[in-house]
Structure 1
Amino acid sequence: MVELRPVPFAVLITRMFQELERNGAIFDYPARRIVQAAPARDLSVSIHGHRASTPFGPAAGPHTQLAQNIVLAWLAGGRVMELKTVQIKDDLEIPRPCIDMQTIGFNVEWSQELSLKQSLEEYVKASMLIEMLKAEGLAPGFGDTVFDMSVGYDLAGIRSPKVRAFLDGMKDASEVVERLRGQIPAAFAHFRDLAFPTKLSDTLTLSTFHGCPPEEIESIGAFLLEEAGLHLVVKLNPTLLGRQDLNAILRDRLGYADLMVPDAAFAKDARWEQVVGIIERLGTLAERLGRGFGVKFSNTLLVRNHRHFFTGEKEMYLSGPPLHVLAISLVQKFRQTFGDRFPISFSAGIDAANFADAVALGLKPVSVCTDLLKVGGYGRAQRYFADLAARMEALGATDIDGFVLKAYGQAEPALASLGLPAEQMRKCRDALADGGDLAAAAGDAFSAWVGAARLKNTEIYAARVLADPRYRAAENSVPPKKIGSHLTLFDCLTCDKCIPLCPNDANFSLPIAPTRLPIEHLRRTDDGWTVETSGEVNLEKPRQIGTFADACNECGNCDVMCPEDGGPYLVKPLFFGSRQSWAEAPARDGFAFETRPEGLHMYGRFDGQTVTVVSGKGRVRYIGADFDLTLDPADPAGTTEGTANTPVDLTRLRLMELLRVAVTESGSVNYLSAGLNVA
């Protein structure tokens, strides 16, 4: 299985700030699109007593596994980071590809691909990088960020020493912070004195998916609240709707007749009446302990694999538009049972068209995965904030609670339901009519007023999404357009779609001027050396696409969204972050760089055959299985020295030289150039 390799901390720092200075971007995210605080508008929410500057964040998944993912989400306005679910089994073999965004969204990945130790370090790195960005003045007054852990899926695993060490490390990351502090490059030494947070998180979302025994949910929750000392959110499954109601919505109302939920999913998952009792008891326990407690809707939905994208998999997990309707129906059902007693976190089919609606329901955080996997990637979140700001401005709402009260016109009915004294009611109505301070007018009844509005908004929105055609199968059946051509190593449409939509920022641009490379072989003769030419390779585009192997887990998303067939991650030049990672992937053609005393070494693999190019002043050393030559690439016939048992392919040398210059001498900034600068 392809393995993710975390990028060294020093390389992340170097790339982040060099790219910002030279290109006005960070990890390919344009600085001009960094979400900033809006004047006279407070988007902050409280997450278990911690202030988050916005209610938005990436959902636990592919956008919250590596440090650069989390930084990208922060640049896009994410202030509640739902970290990828970890578990005792930290050596999973996940099928490839694992993400299918052709229509509504399916996947076959489910928890971390890194070891628990690596996961902890990635989250600490992300926290420290965010602090550095804040110190540089990015997003001033808008930086309050909450890291929310996620674990699963059974009590024995969660109580194990490995998982406990992870939880303890997140609560006190002092050792990791100090070790990483020492890795900050000298060029950025001024960051070494920052007061980096060491308590990364004391909030946790428990995933009850993937066979988590219903009878253990309560035991796990009690352990996390009592022994681990954490604020807790229990993440629940769409199957809580029950087979009949779920199918009535999914298949009958929305028209997804091809989606079948296995009977085993209903049999294994907790039933509604079980969950009601569990939530009641855990909520009471949390209140007694002084801990925060809530629920989240929802996990993805297990369905039978009726497609041909995930070969060999009998089941897959549904996300996107239909999950949004199912999860909102669960929010409605939950609030009809518990009222506004418990906060609700939400992640299911969120996009620019419904983000503000979810905020208006008082859901927090509102997190996203599927939509960020589409063209534009993290940058799509900018539209979430634009729509929310426009709606708040139109209503005269200056904060989230005010928006909840006014969004659906339910402030007056919600107020009437409270039965307040006449004078207090009058003050509230006057404040509503005059655009006054609603919180001041309501006094100690304000939270109840907002809570009543949340309930009324939920009823309105739940009915609306059931009737909204945009969530139906007919509106979500057309895959991204393909133009019929197949990708090759060089040249493509160069639409750059694959760069921002990669969660890990693994695809990148290489500036290479249009050129013609001769197809040449160098042959030894009795008179010396001769070059035989048999054609040429034409590079017509001013830029090429490369893939950084260490950050690419071959999820397949760039293939789905690419207008051409083949998949950038499979076809385009592949670069490894070190000679070691290159050597440990013998089945993957690609390149790696290494700085050594005798010069820059570039290692290449073509059709499984390895070659090395050592760059010098005007001359290079070119080494393969049966040759070892020194030559001037401008005049190989007249300058070659060394031995070769068979004709030597010079085209590979010229391709590697072209790529070396693009990576190291073009002024571009990427993981490779940053790594060489650190070295």
Structure 2
Amino acid sequence: MVDLVPIPLGVLVTRLFRELALRRSAFDLPQKFFVQATPGRDLSVSFHGRRVATPFGPAAGPHTQMAQNIVSSWLAGGRVIELKTVQIKDRLELTRPCIDVETVGFNVEWSQELTLEQSLEEYVKASMLIEMLKADGVVTGLDETVFDMSVGYDLAGIRSERVRAFMAGMMDASAVVEKLRAEIPDEWARFRDLAFPTRLSDTLTLSTFHGCPPEEIEKIAAFLLEEVGIDVIVKLNPTLLGRDQLTALLRDRLGYTELTVPDAAFDKDATWTQVTGFVDRLGVLAEKLGRRFGVKFSNTLVVKNHKSFFSSAETNMYLSGPPLHPIAIALVDRFRKVFGDRFPISFSAGIDEGNFADAVALGLTPVTVCTNFLKPGGYRRGYRFFQVLTSRMAELGADDIDTYVIKAFGKAEAALDELGLSPERVATCKAALAAGGDLRTAAGDAFAPWVSAARLLNTAAYAAQVAASSRYDAAEHSTPPKKINSNLVLFDCLTCDKCIPVCPNDANFTFAIPPGETPIERLMKTADGWMAEPIGTLVLQKPRQIGTFADACNECGTCDVLCPEDGGPYLVKPMFFGSRTAFDDAPQRDGFVLERFDDGLRMVGRFAGRVVRLEVPAAGARLRYAGEGFDLTLDPADPAGTVEGTAEGTVDLGYFRIMEKILAAVTAPQAVNFVTAGLEQAATPA
């Protein structure tokens, strides 16, 4: 089992604001890709009656688990942050790798990888970091943000003391905020007095297991509405289309003939009749309680695991990405044909820059993304979503989202005609529409019904458009990333940097080592002293190298899938742990940990399970190099002439030379990474 290790707030603050100052980026997201307010365009929408600055957000998943994920999603324009689903079983053994975006999207991952208590603290950290960024003016004009909880997977678990404590903590995080406030480093003491939000969330998206009985879903939602007192969205499954329609769409129409939905998925999942029944009842209950209720389309689609990428122990996997889009849109259309615009709809299914603006035009809120952020570019892709949306708004002369909804699909007049308004009011609205006037003023109290009618007409139009489109077909998404038939090694690669932005947790990073050749020696004790025998050469050809921060790496496999070379960066490249504890707790992973001690820096390395230690004093040229059977001090410029200490036999300096290079690189004055940020926050006793 590979465990994620939460990164302390002090380290996150140091890394974030040093990186902004030195590189004009945040967690490796360049500042030019931060989504900023567009003058003259109001992108705000209502979510459960709360105003949010944009209709966009990350879906519950790999982009909303760690604090740095959430901050990156926020900088990419997300203002409804659907937090990763938590549950009472928070010590699951998960298989690795667990995510495959070679073509579309598949995963075998369940739930959070942190404890409930850690998850709460991560979400508070993220909220505090966002407030710091706003206070520093890094992003302006898009302030309103909602953190949307996600819990699962059954009523017993959700009613448990620890899950109740998690939800209570999200609704009143004052104790955690005050604890973390004290961890803000002195260098950024200006942030300590910020009025950090303490009510992080009072909305929730319910995620249940595939096959959860409908009566269980209804009981959970009712419990959340009545006893917890929060607004609720229920995430629904793609199997609602029914066996025949879903199979025909997925295999026959879209061409994903290799995918098979297990019979059990249809046999156990709620039917359309059951879902529309409990949705209606929960809507009535929410209205009675003065709460809000909605649905989400859609959950992932369970299919049989036919891929060798995942463990054979996983009989099923979960489909996301492009093929899920037409399935979920068909469900949105079917749902609105039954309920009209009575219930708000959250959406996540194959969202990309080509359909985001369309989904917004249907009045879906939020429109969330997961698989697309796992493609090359990662969080950078969010910037393009907003470029497309604001460009379309400008073309239509729409200054706000509601006006955009009315105009987006050319259904404005048809929607107006459905409202039964007086001829005079209709004429006024059509005149404003033709002249590019203010539709809100022209329509008056009929504006909201006009928007609502447009949402329904847009939905029918878009559903027909998607059904006829080939952009989601298997033929359009069958080409895997190109491989160049070479294997990764510890140093040097294409340095294409694809592995850096695709990592949701920002675990991968670059560091600079000057190219060149360094002789590798073997030291031998002789009767006359020490002798150095050349045994090889360490050759570095590239000016930049790739490393992985172990605490933020869960070996999901995404960087491996997208890397042009074979082997997987997270498995082959230098691995760095954030603490000696994390290093010791992962004996199966080779890598390094850096520690400060009174007289300098210590680097502990593990190579093929063998542990060695390099100590660099604050002053002087002599280094200490020790391991099993040897403990030496030497000057790296003249090892044989300066070495002192003891050794059982010969000592190969290959690991010494590797560690010497890496240590200098990752601690260089301009280096920005979690390793150096951690070193600045704590000193380790000798």
Which TM-score applies when normalising by structure 1?
Answer: 0.99
The aligned runs of 1:571-610 (5 Å cut-off) are 571-610=572-611
Cα distance, 1:62 vs. partner? 0.2
SS in 2 for 1:496: coil
Greater Cα offset, 480-489 or 206-215: 206-215
Residue in 2 that maps onto 1:213: 213
Residue in 1 that maps onto 2:309: 309
CA deviations on 1:420-455 (whole Å, 9 max, x unpaired) are: 111111111111111111111111111111111111
The answer to whether the aligner puts 1:435 opposite 2:436 as a matched pair is yes
> For the Cα contact (< 8 Å) 1:153–1:211, is it kept in 2?
no
Residue in 1 that maps onto 2:100: 100
Letter in 1 for 2:476: E
Residue in 2 that maps onto 1:187: 187
Give the whole-Å Cα distance in 1 for the aligned partners of 2:244 and 2:446.
Answer: 40
The aligned runs of 1:19-168 (5 Å cut-off) are 19-168=19-168
Greater Cα offset, 531-540 or 185-194: 531-540
Cα distance, 1:184 vs. partner? 0.5
Give the whole-Å Cα distance in 2 for the aligned partners of 1:422 and 1:209.
Answer: 51
CA deviations on 1:206-246 (whole Å, 9 max, x unpaired) are: 01333422221111011000100000000000001110111
The answer to whether the aligner puts 1:394 opposite 2:395 as a matched pair is yes
Letter in 1 for 2:187: A
Give the whole-Å Cα distance in 2 for the aligned partners of 1:388 and 1:59.
Answer: 19
Residue in 2 that maps onto 1:630: 633
Residue in 2 that maps onto 1:667: 670
Residue in 2 that maps onto 1:507: 508
Give the whole-Å Cα distance in 1 for the aligned partners of 2:128 and 2:345.
Answer: 29
Give the whole-Å Cα distance in 2 for the aligned partners of 1:264 and 1:519.
Answer: 60
Give the whole-Å Cα distance in 2 for the aligned partners of 1:667 and 1:530.
Answer: 37
> For the Cα contact (< 8 Å) 1:377–1:502, is it kept in 2?
yes
The aligned runs of 1:317-466 (5 Å cut-off) are 317-466=318-467
SS in 1 for 2:57: strand
Greater Cα offset, 431-440 or 541-550: 431-440
CA deviations on 1:616-636 (whole Å, 9 max, x unpaired) are: 121111110100111111111
Give the whole-Å Cα distance in 2 for the aligned partners of 1:366 and 1:409.
Answer: 21
SS in 2 for 1:165: helix
Alignment identity in percent? 67
Residue in 2 that maps onto 1:176: 176
Give the whole-Å Cα distance in 2 for the aligned partners of 1:91 and 1:319.
Answer: 25
Cα distance, 1:666 vs. partner? 4.4
Give the whole-Å Cα distance in 2 for the aligned partners of 1:618 and 1:606.
Answer: 25
The aligned runs of 1:633-644 (5 Å cut-off) are 633-644=636-647
Cα distance, 1:141 vs. partner? 1.6
> For the Cα contact (< 8 Å) 1:79–1:146, is it kept in 2?
yes
SS in 1 for 2:675: helix
Cα distance, 1:143 vs. partner? 1.8
The aligned runs of 1:538-617 (5 Å cut-off) are 538-616=539-617, 617=620
Give the whole-Å Cα distance in 1 for the aligned partners of 2:319 and 2:136.
Answer: 40
Misfit runs of 4+, over 4 Å: none
Give the whole-Å Cα distance in 2 for the aligned partners of 1:676 and 1:529.
Answer: 35
The answer to whether the aligner puts 1:487 opposite 2:484 as a matched pair is no
> For the Cα contact (< 8 Å) 2:363–2:455, is it kept in 1?
yes
Cα distance, 1:654 vs. partner? 1.2
> For the Cα contact (< 8 Å) 1:594–1:602, is it kept in 2?
yes
Greater Cα offset, 469-478 or 210-219: 210-219
Letter in 2 for 1:639: T
The answer to whether the aligner puts 1:300 opposite 2:300 as a matched pair is yes
CA deviations on 1:35-85 (whole Å, 9 max, x unpaired) are: 100001000111112111111111100000000000001111111100000
SS in 1 for 2:323: helix
> For the Cα contact (< 8 Å) 2:210–2:237, is it kept in 1?
no
SS in 1 for 2:93: coil
Residue in 2 that maps onto 1:203: 203
Residue in 1 that maps onto 2:623: 620
The answer to whether the aligner puts 1:18 opposite 2:14 as a matched pair is no
> For the Cα contact (< 8 Å) 1:549–1:574, is it kept in 2?
yes
SS in 2 for 1:630: strand
SS in 2 for 1:16: helix
SS in 2 for 1:499: coil
Letter in 2 for 1:155: L
SS in 2 for 1:307: coil
Letter in 2 for 1:239: T
Cα distance, 1:93 vs. partner? 1.2
Give the whole-Å Cα distance in 2 for the aligned partners of 1:157 and 1:585.
Answer: 30
The answer to whether the aligner puts 1:522 opposite 2:529 as a matched pair is no
Cα distance, 1:599 vs. partner? 2.4
Give the whole-Å Cα distance in 2 for the aligned partners of 1:372 and 1:651.
Answer: 39
Letter in 1 for 2:284: T
Letter in 2 for 1:611: V
Cα distance, 1:292 vs. partner? 1.3
CA deviations on 1:338-358 (whole Å, 9 max, x unpaired) are: 000000000000000000000
Cα distance, 1:147 vs. partner? 0.3
Letter in 2 for 1:86: V
Cα distance, 1:98 vs. partner? 0.3
The answer to whether the aligner puts 1:275 opposite 2:264 as a matched pair is no
Letter in 1 for 2:324: L
Letter in 2 for 1:484: N
SS in 2 for 1:193: coil
Give the whole-Å Cα distance in 2 for the aligned partners of 1:286 and 1:662.
Answer: 58
Cα distance, 1:258 vs. partner? 1.1
Give the whole-Å Cα distance in 2 for the aligned partners of 1:157 and 1:619.
Answer: 58
Letter in 2 for 1:497: K
Aligned residues: 679
Give the whole-Å Cα distance in 2 for the aligned partners of 1:554 and 1:512.
Answer: 25
Cα distance, 1:677 vs. partner? 1.1
Greater Cα offset, 516-525 or 252-261: 516-525
SS in 1 for 2:228: coil
Give the whole-Å Cα distance in 1 for the aligned partners of 2:649 and 2:360.
Answer: 68
Letter in 1 for 2:81: M
Cα distance, 1:257 vs. partner? 1.2
Give the whole-Å Cα distance in 2 for the aligned partners of 1:353 and 1:520.
Answer: 57
Letter in 2 for 1:363: L
Greater Cα offset, 457-466 or 594-603: 594-603
Give the whole-Å Cα distance in 1 for the aligned partners of 2:291 and 2:646.
Answer: 73
> For the Cα contact (< 8 Å) 2:210–2:265, is it kept in 1?
no
Cα distance, 1:504 vs. partner? 0.3
Give the whole-Å Cα distance in 2 for the aligned partners of 1:225 and 1:536.
Answer: 67
Letter in 1 for 2:77: G
> For the Cα contact (< 8 Å) 2:611–2:628, is it kept in 1?
yes
Letter in 2 for 1:641: E
Residue in 1 that maps onto 2:245: 245
Cα distance, 1:255 vs. partner? 1.0
> For the Cα contact (< 8 Å) 2:64–2:82, is it kept in 1?
yes
> For the Cα contact (< 8 Å) 2:520–2:657, is it kept in 1?
no
> For the Cα contact (< 8 Å) 1:235–1:299, is it kept in 2?
yes
